[in-house]
Each structure stands twice: as structure tokens, then as C-alpha cells.
Amino acid sequence: MRELTVKDAINEALVQAMEADPDVILMGEDIAGGAGRDDHPGALDAWGGPFGVTKGLATRFGRERVMDTTIAEAGFFGAAVGAAMTGLRPVVELMYVDFAGVAYDQMLNQAAKVRYMFGGKQKVPMVMRTVVGAGFRAGAEHSQTLYSLFTHVPGLKTVAPSSAADAKGLLLTAIQDDDPVVFFEHKRLYMEKEHVDEAPVPIPFGVAKVVREGRDLTIIAVQRAVQFSLAAAHTLAEEGIDVEIIDPRTYSPLDERAILTSVAKTGHVLIVDESYPRCSLATDIAALIADEGFDSLKAPVKRLTAPHTPVPFSPPLEDAYLPLAPKIVAAVRAQLGAGAAIGTRRG
């Protein structure tokens, strides 16, 4: 069975999308690598972005389709919007989501709103790929997971795959989709491997994945939290606690039914996300469950997120910052304990 890393799965999706459709182009900083030194054999494809995700594509498709840009995010994001409106399907890379600030206006106000404010007569089939995540000792400006900044905005779709096969299938869908899609890639998941079909099989948006079936408690896990939750599930299983893990995979649209169905089954829910807690995906999902799933709850909805602080640099601080498996284990135990107590009280 053929295994691919998340990084290679994304690369393969880009290759297949570019082969299938000549209108697909890539833009980003150092995504080809070594621009301006075309006289030097080592230059082409020296980079492929800082994580090597687009490596090989410039050689394969040429610099006309794999375009290195200057450090002008507002410029090339806006160009992507315009190109998407007029017939291309640009896939643009924001090297780290932390740089969203300088690119954001084109996403927030142009990409997201063109369709609506022009009365449904236009479309913006672009994809913004970007890198998120702590755990790299990269400090406050290179470690954020700003999912909610984009999920908040009507008109944008958001995707955050946690595995290689999902990354490939969801990226294929994102590129074929006629709306602007923000595709989050977690830097600490790039080297994770699994079987990935060679054939290009798109995975539809708005369909959550049940990563692990269980009966006692539902964990809704956002991107890398799936990894943490699986480790926690292993420990909990030894104690006889059987958790179900749901990976929503896309956040706009969100598979509300899958979440509510699982909560109805277990009656307990913990939402795990390494993002800031305020106005976050975790908070959004908690609100959904409170609104629509209250009757099936045996205990209050719990969120396990990063604290309301920037991402710290120092290793012990960053480790304390993340919702790692031991914290999930403790939260699940507490949640089930609380549930039992409430069950008794309600008699």
C-alpha cells in the first residue's frame, strides 16, 4: 500500500489539479525557489515554499504557472481575486497564516464579497493555502492557528485537514470549487503518513469524519487536535473510557449533523483546538451544541483550547500552551465525573 506524507499528498493534489486544468496557477513567495538565479542550476525548485510543499512543480509546469512573487501579499492576493473573476483558478500561498494581516483585506472584503455584492453574477474560484500551528518553537508571529479569522467571514469556505488522504481529497475539491476557499495546512502534520489513493478523488466539503467510534464521550477535534485526541483515546481506553473522535475537516461549511448525531449518542462532549479560545471554532461549535443539542447533553459542553495568550517561544511554555494528550485525558475524566454527578442529581 502506497503511503504519502501530508506534504506529498498536497503536492500530488496540486500536480493533478494542474494537469487536469490549465487555468490552475500557483502564486506565492519562494514557491518555485531560487528566482532571479536562473543561470544557476541549483536555483530552480531549491525551495518549494519554506516546507518544500510545492517542490518540483516549477520544473514540471514552468515558472509561468508556478509564479514566485515579491513579498507583496496584498498585491498578489488581489491579483488572484481578479484572475479568479476572469477565468483562472489561482492557488495562492500565504507562507504563514500569521501574515494574514497584510493579505487579509483582499480575502475579507474582495474575495469573500464579490459574489454577494455583485448580485450572484460573479464568482471567485481561488484557493488560499496557508500554514498554521504551534509546536515549532517559532514564537508569537509564526505559530498561530487563525482558523476563525476566515471562518467568521461569510463568502469564504475553510478547510483544515488532519491527515494525508484528507489533505489531498479536500484540496482537489477546493481547487474545483467555484468559491474562495482557505485551506489550512498544519506545519506539525506535514510529515504524517498514511495510505493515499493515487487517483484524484475529491472529498466533499461539509462532511465530517468519524476518526474513532466510541460510546462514552464525543471529542470534536480541530486539525492537529485529532492527533492529540487519538493519543488520549488510547490512554482512556485502558481505563475503560471509550471516546468518539469527530474531525469536522471543513468549518465553513460545517457538518452540524455529524456533530449533533455523535453528541446525541454519547451525551458528553469536549471540543479540542489549539487556537485562542475567544470567538473561536471551539466556541462556535460549543454554541451549536448548546443551541441544537442541549437535550442530549448529560453534562455541560467543555472546550479545551490554548489559553487567551499569544504563542510563547520557550519550550516549556509552548508545551504548556498546547492542548496535548494528557490535558485531554484529564478533561475527559473530569467531564465524565461531572456527568455522573449531574446524572445523580437530576435523579
Partner 1 sequence: MSTARTIPPAPNGAAAGETPPPDALLAMYTTMLTMRRFDERVRDLSAAKAIPGYAHTYFGSEAIAAGVMAALRPDDWIASTYRCHGHAIAKGVALEAMAGELYGRTTGTAKGKGGSMHVSDFDVGMLGAFGIVAAGIPIALGAALTAMRKGTGQVAVAFFGDGAVHQGVFHEGAGLAMLWNAPVVLLCENNQYAEATAIEYHLNTSTIADMACAYAMPAERADGMDVVSAYAAARRAVERARTGGGPTLLELVSYRFSGQYEGDAQGYQPPEEIARWRERDPITTFERLAPERGISTEALARVADEVDRAVDAAFAAAERAPFPEPDDLFDDVYVSYP
Ligand X SMILES: Cc1ncc(C[n+]2csc(CCOP(=O)(O)OP(=O)(O)O)c2C)c(N)n1
List residues near partner 1 by CB under 8 A.
29-30, 33-37, 39-40, 42-43, 46-47, 50, 68, 70-72, 74-75, 98-99, 101-102, 136-142, 307-310, 312-317, 319-321
What's the order of all strands across the beta sheet hosting 24-28?
66-68, 24-28, 89-94, 127-132, 181-186, 157-159, 250-252
Q: Residue 292 catalytic?
A: no
Q: Which does 138 bind (CB under 5 to 8 A by kind): ligand X, partner 1, none?
A: partner 1
> Does 146 contact ligand X by CB under 6 A?
no
Q: How far is the CB of 34 from ligand X (least distance, A)?
A: 14
Among the listed residues 73, 185, 192, 318, the single catalytic one is 73
> CA 126, CA 31: separation in Å to the nearest integer?
17
Beta strand pairing call for 243-247 and 209-212:
antiparallel
Q: How far is the CB of 313 from partner 1 (least distance, A)?
A: 3
Only one of the segments 94-102, 145-153, 173-181, 282-290 lies at the binding site for ligand X (rule: CB under 6 A); that segment is: 94-102
Q: Give CA separation, 282 vs 93, 251, 289, 306, 324, in Å.
A: 25, 11, 11, 11, 16
> CA 46, CA 33: separation in Å to the nearest integer?
5
> Does 77 contact ligand X by CB under 6 A?
no
Q: Residue 152 catalytic?
A: no
> Does 95 contact ligand X by CB under 6 A?
yes
Q: Which does 118 bind (CB under 5 to 8 A by kind): partner 1, ligand X, none?
A: none
How many residues interact with ligand X (rule CB under 6 A)?
6
Among 71, 117, 334, 340, binds ligand X (CB under 6 A): 71
Burial of 69 (0-12, 13-18, 19+ CB in 10 A): buried
Among 8, 12, 29, 179, binds ligand X (CB under 6 A): 29
Taking the least distance from each CB to ligand X, the nearer of 73 and 192 is 73
Taking the least distance from each CB to partner 1, the nearer of 174 and 311 is 311
Among 15, 43, 46, 102, binds ligand X (CB under 6 A): 102
> CA 29, CA 220: separation in Å to the nearest integer?
34
Q: Are 56 and 33 spatial neighbours (Cβ–Cβ below 8 Å)? A: no
Interacting residues with ligand X (CB under 6 A): 29, 71, 73, 95, 99, 102
Active site members: 73, 142
